[in-house]
Amino acid sequence: MGLYGSAPEAPDPNETASAQTATNIGTAVANNVMGNVNQVTPDGNLTYTYTTQKWKDPLSGKEYDLQVPTATQTLSQQQQAIKNQTDAAELNMATLANNQSGKLNDLLGKPMDMSKAPAAGNAATIGLPQYQQFQGGPNLQTNVGNAGDITRSYDVDFDTTKYENALMERLNPQLEQDRAALETRLANQGLQPGSEAYNRAIDQARRQSNDARISAILNAGQEQSRIAGLARDQATFQNSAQNQAFGQNVTAAGFSNDANQQMFQNRNTTTAGNNALQDQSFNAQQAKFNLQNQQRAQYLNETYAQRNQPINEIIGLMSGAQVNSPQFVPTQSNPMPTVDYAGLVQQNYANKMGAYNQSQANMQSLLGGALGFGGQLAALSDKRAKKDIKKVGGLYEYRYKGEGKNAPKRIGVMAQEVEKVRPDAVSKGSDGLRRVNYGALFNAGKRK
């Protein structure tokens, strides 16, 4: 017995199992009857009949009546006639197969002769092709050398003074003679220096002298241009000759490179041709190998066919077409669910046990909770640990010291008072405070 009433009694597992078995059997019988539906079709009928079979529960010893179904299928008149003819034909073929099967004793008693089969191809005789490696590319000439320095400028002195001086050195003596002759002629004519006629004549002579000098300057420029043209023509000729020599070098290098390229291509063409011959030889060996294997496989297939044909004929005689069975409509029924009786019983017990434990916890909370003697309820009941004490009947309301003033009040006894009448229900902790074993105190109110 607990502090507050007795714990609920646990259900009997045998009774629960027996009740669950009875529930399962009843549900199974109902589902069996509802699931087997009699059917009537144009090709035949399907009918269910039931026989009662006794079954005894080894746990409870109770006997149950089980309904065991028997499915009976009947063909229509036309389908039954077809089946009769088919059965007769199958019987005839089975009889023929039985008679012919005697021939297999002699056929299967002789081993197959493979001595005349063509030899298979020998892979070891196939040699792998030995390819030639392609050579590296030719060394081409990439530098044709320098044909000579190009004449970018030529030495031409554009100062025409020397040409002018040379011309004037030849003109000055003549000009001076002409001037002296003019002055002599003018004096002989009686013209005095400073006169108008004298000055006009002298001025004309000066203009002629200037014209001669200007002509000398122009001729000096023309001479200079002629010499510059000669220097230019010489430089042009030299550059043309160098360009021609460079072009010849380029042509020679190109011809040499073309020849090297052609030789390289010729060598590669020869190498590729030799490798192609190697591939052709290898392919020919493979073709011969495959042809030998095909010949052998064809011979073996024909030999196996000759041996298997009588067996296949007998098997064909033994297998016959089956008469079509009636096509029944698949029926579906909603199965009756089995009641989980054991689960309900266990759940009911769990609910009762939960309520009992909750009541015990509530009572323990009111009594102050705590630990105790051998697992029995013991609570701190020392008067020195309590405050706000108020007597209510034979018990006391109180709060523990350290709890707030709004904490719920507890109900219990004072350890000092209990110790006087039931010292066996009181213990003293390591803290020096007394505790009361409420289980021992309220268990019939007697000492053990």
Which DSSP string corresponds to 402-422? TS-TTSPPEEE--HHHHHHH-
> Which one has a higher pLDDT value, 118 or 162?
118
pLDDT score for 445: 45
Is residue 388 very low, low, confident or very high in pLDDT (cuts 50, 70, 90)?
Answer: very high
Domain extent listing, the chain: 13-75, 123-318, 368-448
Question: At what angle are helices 341-366 and 13-35 packed, to 10 degrees?
Answer: 140
Highest-scoring range by mean pLDDT, 96-105, 321-330, 370-379: 96-105
Residue 310 has pLDDT above 50, yes or no: yes
User: To the nearest whole number, what is the mean pLDDT of the chain?
Assistant: 79
DSSP 134: P
Is residue 389 very low, low, confident or very high in pLDDT (cuts 50, 70, 90)?
Answer: very high
Cα 135 to Cα 151: distance, rounded to the nearest angstrom = 45
In one letter, which amino acid is 139? Answer: N
Residue 34 has pLDDT above 50, yes or no: yes
pTM: 0.34
Average pLDDT in the 165-177 region? 78
Is residue 1 very low, low, confident or very high in pLDDT (cuts 50, 70, 90)?
Answer: very low
Per the CB < 8 A criterion, the answer to whether 16 and 342 are in contact is: yes
The CB-based long-range contact list for 47-56 (8 Å cut-off, 24+ gap) reads 47/71, 47/72, 47/73, 47/74, 48/72, 55/25
Q: Which of 262-266, 287-291, 335-339 has the lowest mean pLDDT?
A: 335-339
> Which one has a higher pLDDT value, 410 or 329?
410
pLDDT score for 13: 79
Q: Which two tokens stand for residue 84?
A: 């009769």
For residue 346, give the nearest of 19, 4, 6 by alpha carbon.
19
Q: Which of 54-58, 87-91, 315-319 has the lowest mean pLDDT?
A: 315-319
Cα 67 to Cα 28: distance, rounded to the nearest angstrom = 9
> Which one has a higher pLDDT value, 297 or 220?
297
Per the CB < 8 A criterion, the answer to whether 290 and 70 are in contact is: no
Average pLDDT in the 329-336 region? 61
Average pLDDT in the 32-37 region? 79
Average pLDDT in the 363-367 region? 56
- Which tens digits make up the pLDDT trace of 2-25? 444 556 777 877 778 778 888 888
DSSP 374: G
Residue 372 has pLDDT above 60, yes or no: no
Q: Which two tokens stand for residue 220?
A: 């000096």
**Three-class secondary structure of residue 443 per DSSP:** coil
Give the number of other Cβ atoms within 10 Å of residue 126's Cβ.
14
Is residue 158 very low, low, confident or very high in pLDDT (cuts 50, 70, 90)?
Answer: low
- Which tens digits make up the pLDDT trace of 219-253? 777 777 877 777 788 778 878 877 887 787 788 77
Residue 69 has pLDDT above 70, yes or no: yes
- Which tens digits make up the pLDDT trace of 84-127? 888 888 788 778 777 777 767 777 777 877 777 888 888 888 88
Q: In 329-385, at which residue ranges do the beta strands (DSSP E only) sit?
A: 378-380
Q: Which of 2-6, 58-62, 67-71, 414-418 has the lowest mean pLDDT?
A: 2-6
pLDDT score for 415: 92
Report the percent of the chain where pLDDT is more than 70: 82
pLDDT score for 96: 76
44-56 β-sheet, strand order: 39-41, 44-56, 63-75
Report the percent of the chain where pLDDT is more than 90: 8
**Three-class secondary structure of residue 297 per DSSP:** helix
> Which one has a higher pLDDT value, 319 or 172?
172
pLDDT score for 39: 87
Residue 76 has pLDDT above 80, yes or no: yes
pLDDT score for 374: 40
Highest-scoring range by mean pLDDT, 145-149, 241-245, 442-446: 241-245
Cα 158 to Cα 379: distance, rounded to the nearest angstrom = 137
Residue 333 has pLDDT above 60, yes or no: no
Q: Which two tokens stand for residue 69?
A: 């179904």
> Which one has a higher pLDDT value, 336 or 28?
28
Percentage helix, strand, coil, to 5, in the chain? Answer: 55, 10, 30
Residue 203 has pLDDT above 60, yes or no: yes
Q: Which two tokens stand for residue 295?
A: 């010949």
Q: In 39-139, at which residue ranges do the beta strands (DSSP E only) sit?
A: 39-41, 44-56, 63-75
pLDDT score for 416: 93
